[in-house]
Amino acid sequence: MIFMSGDEGEWAWAYDANDADRFFDLGPDEEGWKMVDAGLAELLAQRNLLEIAYGPVSHRVISQVSPVLLPEVVAGLTEITTCPWRSLPGLRLHIGDGVLVVSSFGRENFAPFSHTNDVLDIRVAVTSPDKFDYLENREWPHPWRVLPSRSLEWIRAYSERGR
């Protein structure tokens, strides 16, 4: 039974209606479904976290950074075991008090933009602007992109902080 496709880009996911512990993915230009080594409950829980990190919460993103910098971003957070998402190779999730960090292998800077394990893309989602403060205490190889939330609560809190 296909349950995620269309707005998910070029990937699709399905599960076995007779065994919810078996789910499958289908990548771009593939003809056959591949079984994923995880259950449906794991997939849905992680999918919810990814929706938070990529959705309308406030977040900062930095791409093309060395994996040796990840410990500085996730210090004090708890890593969550992830199932193997072929669409996000190298996926790692870290969570803490009002902070969610999603990291995965970055992409090459040239076509066909394949994933490479020598750089990471890191996304930090937070519940309030002050949760970003710990990122400002060091120099990064290039600036974090700031992607603010669309919520009025966030905009209000962010503007109050700047005063």
Q: Does the pTM exceed 0.85? A: no
Per-residue confidence (pLDDT) for residue 42, from 0 to 100:
77
Q: What is the pLDDT of residues 65-76, one digit of tens each?
A: 899 999 999 999
**Dihedrals phi, psi of 101, to nearest 5 degrees:** -115, 125
The band of 79, judged by pLDDT with boundaries at 50, 70 and 90, is very high
DSSP code of 143? P
Q: Pairing mode, if any, of strands 2-4 and 78-80?
A: unpaired
Q: Which domains does the chain have, with CATH numbers?
A: 56-161 (3.30.310)
Region 8-28 average pLDDT = 77
Whether the CB-CB separation of 25 and 10 falls below 8 Å is answered with no
Higher pLDDT, 97 or 38: 97
Cα dihedral 124, 129, 140, 74 sign: negative
Nearest to residue 50, comparing CAs of 3, 103, 4, 97? 103
C-alpha distance from residue 138 to each of 16, 72, 154 (Å): 47, 9, 25
**Dihedrals phi, psi of 132, to nearest 5 degrees:** -80, -10
Whether the CB-CB separation of 3 and 14 falls below 8 Å is answered with yes
Per-residue confidence (pLDDT) for residue 131, from 0 to 100:
83
Question: What is the torsion angle, in degrees rounded to the nearest 10, for the CA atoms of residue 64, residue 69, residue 140 and residue 156?
Answer: 90
The band of 4, judged by pLDDT with boundaries at 50, 70 and 90, is low
